[in-house]
Structure 1
Amino acid sequence: MILLWNKIERRLWGELVRDTRQTRFYPFIYCSYWHYLFHKSNSIANTTCYYSARPNPGAGIGHQIANWIAGYWFARQIGLKFAHMPFSTKKWDDFLGFGYGEPQVTDLKKQGYKIRKLPLFNEKNDKEVRLNKLIIQSYAGERVVFVAEQDQFYRDQFGVMADIQKKFYNAPTRKNDRLIYSPDNFNIAIHVRRGDIMADPTNPNLAMRYLSNDYFEKVLRQVIENIQTDKPVHIYFFSQGKPEDYPEFASYPNLHWCLDMDAQSSFLHFVYADLLITSKSSFSYKPALLNKGIKVCPKNFWHGYPNSKDWILVENDGTFDLTQLQKLS
């Protein structure tokens, strides 16, 4: 019953945020804003408060990781300590290991910390960013955990890449990892997003995520033709459906169909691939942030990419700078 009520409460609050976001009344729906109005910011350094973000419990794991990363990043930018809020399941929380060594919001609540939600802000909008900072500063000296509004956006998620790699590779659950890759091969993982984006082709939000079989085949062909390795190349194809849905790939040798692999195992194989070809999907973008090999990614995407030689960006027509790949091989 409690879980149902929490779900209803989140939905109603989300509707309120959506309906007021573009109005001048929006900040007034937050208790933290009212506190700021009656407790103007002072010059005391805010060293007692924490900042956090809740991984959206109704979203996929890629989306949830984006939420968590936003909290981690903005805590650093604002100058607050970070506090961890867990992912939707303990299995994912343990698997990722992001919370190890971080204060937990639940523990801070038990210690008497108040939870205060902050208004959404556009990270490029100085006025909105400043308002969040003023609200936070009005609580200087108090024991508060500030929680970003649900789905607070942070575009360039690679800003925390070194930190989350360290967390992931040092997580205790790494001892349980099982890979089907052979270290004797050069292992290419290709993620062809289907599933949800095929459910409603008329939905523009889903259509923007679609890339054709021809796109992926063209990218894969160029990778194989230009990669220089002494190891045999093996291809691991991650998607939904059946092999007959992807006739463009039938002639490739050493092709392994991974159409029934569970989400966590797929994520793990994306991380450990020698070369990862991603979709327009948070589900392959996030493991790409953890991957230490070569990443070949669609240039037109809603998150940014680091300016690094191991990240190769592909145009919508499937072309990319072949010399960049050749230099990496």
Structure 2
Amino acid sequence: MPLFRFSRRPTYVTCRGRDDGGGAQIAACVSTMIYARLRRATYVHSPLQTVAHAPLGESTEDWSARWENFFSLGYGETQASSLSGIPENTLAKPHRRSPRSGKLNVVAHCHKVTDHHPEAWASIAPELRRKYEVSPKPEPPGFDENFLHIAVHLRRGDVTADGRFSERFSSTDRLLPALRRHFSEERCRLHLYSQGNAEDFPEFAEFDPWLHLDEDAFVSFHGMVTADVLFTAKSTFSYLAGIIGDGEVVYEPFWHPCLPGWKAL
């Protein structure tokens, strides 16, 4: 009697269906890439479709395409559009259920799994960096080789100390002493990335900062990636910049984990 060997059908996982900000959507896709590795599945890329906060005069479609092209997460990956014959499975809680084999498992994010694996976030960083370098990047203003460049991201604008989203507000109580320690050693230039007006940041006057206020999101992001030292905020935006960049990262604790090699503020 012949022996039959049963092979496991491929398991596919993709991230889609979100309509929040670009940083959150990119982080969700990265968490899905990590999740697929942890579950021995194949990550399948679905391009970003509906990214929030499009600038005035720019369509959501064009804004979403800019985010998609800037990070190039789909570069070298299987595309969801190529799996039209594979049945889909909505995986609402990937932290509780495993992806189904023979299906295209659709998730919104996998943070409840991957945030327990900071080493996996660190190990995927070189691959993210290679993808990031596929598309051209803007020249960040104020950078030259004569300085050690220190970037600070502060959540402001819709984030206040005592109002809505107050849990995302970055206090300067621990930040300023940490900055002074860095400035005591090298010829440094501080780049402050935030929203508002120059008079909103009087506590940074001693550093003579280069202010990047309400700057184009992609210019700001690449500046943080380029920096020699990055102080992240409670934000996936600067968190991703810390992962993709290869400088020192000083991490402000929030809901995503501190990566190996980072310093907690």
TM (norm. structure 1) is 0.67
Tell me the amino acid that sits aligned with residue 107 of structure 1. S
Q: 1:176 to 1:280 in 2, by over 3 A?
A: closer
Counterpart of 2:82 in structure 1: which amino acid? D
Where does the alignment leave 5 or more consecutive residues of structure 1 unmatched? Answer: 1-42, 123-127, 315-329
The residue aligned with 1:307 is: 260
What's the secondary structure of 2:211's corresponding residue?
A: strand
Correspondence 1:238 to 2:193: yes
Task: Describe the shift of the 1:186–1:164 C-alpha distance in structure 2 as closer, same or farther (beyond 3 A).
Answer: same
> What is aligned with 1:84?
45
Q: Over the residues paired in the alignment, what is the CA RMSD in angstroms?
A: 2.3
Structural mapping, 1:1-329, within 5 Å: 44-54=6-16, 56=18, 58-87=19-48, 88=51, 89-109=64-84, 112-122=85-95, 128=96, 131-133=97-99, 136-137=100-101, 142=102, 144-148=103-107, 150-153=108-111, 154-155=114-115, 156=117, 159-171=120-132, 173-180=134-141, 181-198=143-160, 201-203=162-164, 206-225=165-184, 228-229=185-186, 232-253=187-208, 255-298=209-252, 300-308=253-261, 311-314=262-265
Structure 1 residue 280: Cα displacement: 1.2
**Which structure shows the higher helix fraction?**
1
3-state SS, counterpart of residue 45 of structure 2: coil
Secondary structure at the aligned position of 2:230 is classed as: strand
TM-score, structure 2 normalization: 0.82
In structure 2, how many angstroms separate the alpha carbons of the residues matched to 1:84 and 1:166?
Answer: 15
Higher Cα Rg, which structure: 1
Structure 2 unaligned spans of 5+? 52-63
Determine the structure 2 residue equivalent to 1:20.
Answer: none
Q: What is the alpha-carbon distance in structure 2 between the residues aligned to residue 269 and residue 119 of structure 1?
A: 35
User: Do 1:213 and 1:246's aligned partners in 2 also have CA atoms closer than 8 Å?
Assistant: no
User: Is the CA contact 1:187–1:273 (under 8 Å) kept in the aligned structure 2?
Assistant: yes
Decide whether aligned partners of structure 1 residues 201 and 53 sit closer, same or farther in structure 2, where only a CA change above 3 A counts. same
Separation in structure 1 between the aligned mates of residue 233 and residue 17 of structure 2, nearest angstrom: 22
Distance 2:119 2:223 in 1: 20
> 1:207-231 deviations in whole A, cap 9, x for unaligned?
2211224443233222212xx44xx
Deviation at 1:173? 4.7
CA shift in 2, pair 1:261/1:215, >3 Å:
same
